[in-house]
Amino acid sequence: AQSVAQPEDQVNVAEGNPLTVKCTYSVSGNPYLFWYVQYPNRGLQFLLKYITGDNLVKGSYGFEAEFNKSQTSFHLKKPSALVSDSALYFCAVRVPSGSARQLTFGSGTQLTVLP
């Protein structure tokens, strides 16, 4: 079975500072990893994904994520946080085997960027 853990329910960071939202995964096989963001009363917006290749993935709105196979992690990062980045962030995983295509999501991390 595949699972995703987001160990921090809440992350606070000052505007202009770098931010990191942590994600670790547990799968059998090679994972496909995704990050989504959810603003209040909205659906999820896709930020970026790791499929294969370069471990550093760049995505929307200046976000990037680093895939680390040895640590089974896929942390989301941004060099300089904006107040508008405040939202709920979800990490998700899918394993390329079997008939399932749905994503398995972490529990989410609420990011608050303080002005």
**CB closer to other proteins out of 3 and 80:** 3
How many CA atoms does the CB half-sphere of 18 hold within 13 Å? 7
Positions in the binding site for other proteins (CB under 8 A): 32, 34, 36, 41-46, 49, 51, 90, 94-96, 99-108
* Closest distance to other proteins from the beta carbon of 16 (Å): 29
**CB closer to other proteins out of 79 and 96:** 96
* Closest distance to other proteins from the beta carbon of 102 (Å): 4
| Beta pairing, strands 73-78 & 64-68 | antiparallel
**CB closer to other proteins out of 2 and 15:** 2
